[in-house]
Chains A and B, each alone.
Chain A
Amino acid sequence: MPGVSRSPRLMSRRTTLAAALFGPLVGSACDSPFGDRPAGAPGKSPGSAEVDPTLSGDEAVVASVLAALDRSMAIVEAVTDRHPRLARTFAPLATMQAAHAAVLLEARVAEDRAPVQPPAVPPRASAAEAAARRAARSYERVLRESLMVAESGALARALAAMAAGVGQHLAVLDATGAPG
């Protein structure tokens, strides 16, 4: 009598992610009934005009996601610095973003991580809170777009899991916070 059987995990440890990302493809165009390959191309990644054009394929995807994550983290940090009472609200999101960063930093190839300009924070707490949620939503959008162009199945899976995690946190924030 089976239950909902779990699919075998592609990676048993997070530390294998980098190898998995840039090793053989887990899924390939041959698998697609629509015959459509991932649309990844050198230096072309969703949501990032600033990604190093010398990076190719999944390297650029990781750099692009990391840039979006950095922007979102910077806004959350700036917002909670200016409005300390929001720190508790955004603590779970910040913890999740740190976990995402750890995974992405293991997978990146480029050593440079572009600095993020300190973002302007609205003086009103409700507006600042909304700005932080918008930034998280933007990060989620980049994740969703990036998973579609990832050539590595392992990378696509990781990005999909991250997007789902951001979606969960945003749902909780939307249910408890000011209108965003």
Chain B
Amino acid sequence: MSALDALQTTLAAEHAAVFLYGLYGGRTSQSADPGLYAAVEAGYRAHRARRDQLRLAIADLGGEPVAAAATYEVPRNLVVATRIKRAALETERACQETYAAQVAQTVGGLRRWAATALAEAALQALAVGGRPEPFPGAPELG
């Protein structure tokens, strides 16, 4: 897999994450659960920013950034905070694995970007109820 392929894979994951976080935000009450709302909003902003950075990076490499899918698989029963947190945590873990894969498949600035994204996603996982893990993004090492 080339660096460009790795970036396209990460971009596809970011499209999904942006969609899903938008959904989580729409199901979270700012007044009833301000902590979760802030965490979801932060996750949405982070993934949207990474999506935009990836689009530019792919275009710089001469690629055509992959488009978002028409829709995505939506977690069920997003009606209570615990389900929203669990879904957001799952989104973060999936993105962590994608960033970790990009670390392996790139060098230089693209590797640094992926490692930073992995570290940030690991912290975001804590914000949505996750616990510290020994190998975020590479759970099979544990």
Majority DSSP secondary structure for residues of B touching A: helix
Contact A162 B134, CB 8 Å, known A1-B71, A147-B115: yes
Whether A168 pairs with B103 at a CB distance below 8 angstroms is no
Kindly state the interface size class of chain B when it binds its partner.
35 or more
Contact A163 B115, CB 8 Å, known A4-B91, A157-B104, A158-B141: yes
Whether A3 pairs with B94 at a CB distance below 8 angstroms is yes
- B residues contacting A by CB (< 8 A) are 2-4, 6, 9, 12-13, 16-17, 20, 57, 60-61, 69, 71-74, 90-91, 94-112, 114-115, 118-119, 121-123, 125-126, 132-138, 140-142
14 A-B pairs, CB-CB below 8 angstroms? Answer: A3-B20, A4-B13, A5-B16, A7-B101, A14-B142, A27-B104, A29-B107, A100-B134, A157-B100, A157-B103, A157-B138, A164-B136, A165-B122, A171-B123
Q: Which residue from chain A places its CB closest to the CB of B14 in the assembled complex?
A: A4
A9→B94 CA distance, assembly (Å)? 11
A contacts with B, residue count (CB < 8 A): 51
